[in-house]
Structure 1
Amino acid sequence: MTDNRYEKLEQLGSDTPLPDNPETADLERVANPCDAPYMVRFACPEFTSICPVTGAPDFAHLVIDYVPRDWIVESKSLKLYLGAYRNHGAFHEACTTMIGQRLVKELDPVWLRIGGYWYPRGGIPIDVFFATGEPPAGVWIPEQGVASYRGRG
C-alpha cells in the first residue's frame, strides 16, 4: 500500500541525474510527520564547489540543522541539490548562505542554521555561518561538532 503523502515525490526511487546547477535543482518536501518540536541534522562532509575566479575545486564540511514547521526536505533531493554545486562557481560565503536561504524558502522552518566549514584556500580556512534567528526553546540543539581547522598539527 502506497502512502499518498508521497505521490508527488519524483526523485526518490527513480534514476535521477545530478542537476546542472543549484538554481534548477528541485528540492522536494513532504509533510512533517511529527507534531512535537524536534531538530533535523544533515551533515555533508564532502561538499564541493568551484572558485568563481580560478575554477579550482573548493571543499567543505556542511552541517545543516533545522526545526521543521509544516515541511521536511526529502533527503535524496537535498543530496542532488548539494551535488549541483559541484560545477557551480561561487565564493564560500555565497554557497553557504544560498543553501540556507533556499531551504528557508522551500521549507519555512521554525528555525534553521547552516555551518560551512571550508578547507583552506590560499592557506586560510574559511568558516561561514547562517541562521534564521534564535533556536526555539525546548528543542535540543547540539553543537555542530566540527572542529576548527588545524592542518596536520
Structure 2
Amino acid sequence: MDDKIKVFVCKVDGAEDLPLPEYMSQGAAGMDLVANITETVYLNSGEFKMIPCGIKIELPQGFEAQVRPRSGLAAKHGITVLNSPGTIDCDFRGEIQVILINHGKDRFAIKRGDRIAQLVIGRVIRAEFCLSEDLLKTDRGEGGFGHTGV
C-alpha cells in the first residue's frame, strides 16, 4: 500500500543540522520529532516544558498531524506529551513544539537532536452537528465510565 501525501517542511533558523522527521521502520505510523534546543533542558519530576522541534509544516487540506509520546520515553522514564495527542491543524504554519511532562521520579535531560515525540499524519473528517429532540436508543443507553465493571 503506497498511500502517500506530500507534506512540505521548512526548517527554522538554527535547525539546519537537525534531521527531518522520518519513519524509523517499514510499518511505523509515526515519524520522530527531535529537540531543537541549544543547551540541555532538564525536566524535574512533575515539571513540563515546551520543546521546539525546528520545523514548520504545510499539511494538505483535509489532514492533520498529531503529536504523540514515544513509548520508550514513557516506559523507561515517565516522559510523555502533556496534551496527548497534540493536534496540528492544516492551516498552522508555526514551529512545531512539544509539551513534555516528566511523570517519572528522576530528573530527565533533553539534549539537542534527541527524539522526543512522534508525529502521525491523518485524515480529518469534519462533522455537522444537527440538533435533535431525541437520539436513537441503544442497549448501552447512558452507561458511562465503568458501566461494564472493572
TM-score where L is the length of structure 1: 0.30
TM-score where L is the length of structure 2: 0.30
Larger proportion of helix: 1
Larger radius of gyration: 2
Report which structure shows greater RCO (CA 8 Å, sep ≥6): 2
